[in-house]
Amino acid sequence: MITSDLAKKIRRIQITTNRIVNQVMAGQYQSAFKGRGMEFSEVREYSPGDDIRIIDWNVTARYQRPFVKQFVEERELTVLFLIDISGSQHFGTSRTLKSDLAAELSAILAFSAIRSNDRVGSILFSNRVETYVPPKKGTQHVLRVIRDILYTRPAAATTNISDVLEYLNRVQKRRAVVFLVSDFLDQGFEKNMRLAAKRHDLVALVVEDPAESNLPAAGWMAMRDPETGRELLVNTSRSSVRRAFKERMAGYRSERDRLLKSIGIDTLHVSTARNYESDLYRFLRSRARRMRA
């Protein structure tokens, strides 16, 4: 059952993201994500000046006069959202939770996709695939995807990115645009990510919260890992503790970003502490320029 609070939340996201799609993202999505290329349409008789490489030799032999193939640009895309709903996503110390930020960001891209007549689907995951919604078109379908992101409670709290990428490669045979939305608090996914990046246009949307990088000087704090359940009492007043935590997390982020870059994946970092509209706009505009180059 969908509660009234959840229904209001979905409606708020729809209104907010539709405004952004119409006012901020208009044209940027379509420029940044193109179709698969040219698709065969029909044949017609050869005309002087036609490229001989597009002659259809089977039809030519049948009718004893030359025919050429005609092609049209295949614009329609399949767009899939791989959404991390593990325990660490239900965390936020600033404007919102990481899970809500993931839902809003996915909604903007999903509404942009259906506006371009693309099909949208989703795979929600923790340390296993929780739900799979096959790609379809339409506003109601996108609202269902948003509802699932907000409403689905995972069977497990931990994260397994490798397994969801393996699942993606099994269920999605044709090339798709794939947005992997996660905080990437996981390891061992490099092999399957490389395979997925070869088959699909894979984009990493890294969702972060500032408290995951910098501890506040707030004295003794009881800290609990939302994925493993491990609890620890930490004296955050000690500068050495805060410095060690900051250095460790900086090293982790650096290694994660190095890995994504080495695979050749476009990456956007979004934070619960700041407005994501300008970051997303710049990301799409930069990608569109590269596509035209």
CA contacts within 13 A on the Cβ side of 103: 26
The residue type found at 232 is L
Q: How many CB atoms lie within 10 A of CB 233?
A: 8
Regions of the chain where pLDDT drops below 50: none
Res 85: pLDDT = 93
**Structural Rg of the chain based on CA atoms:** 23
Res 260: pLDDT = 94
- Smallest Cα–Cα separation from 71: which of 94, 117, 39? 39
CA contacts within 13 A on the Cβ side of 69: 13
Res 5: pLDDT = 75
Res 268: pLDDT = 94
Res 150: pLDDT = 84
Topology (CATH) of 4-32+76-292: Rossmann fold (3.40.50)
pLDDT digits (tens, 9 = 90+) for 70-79: 765 555 789 9
The residue extents of the domains of the chain are 4-32+76-292, 37-74
Task: Give me the phi and psi of 127, to 5 degrees please.
Answer: -95, 10
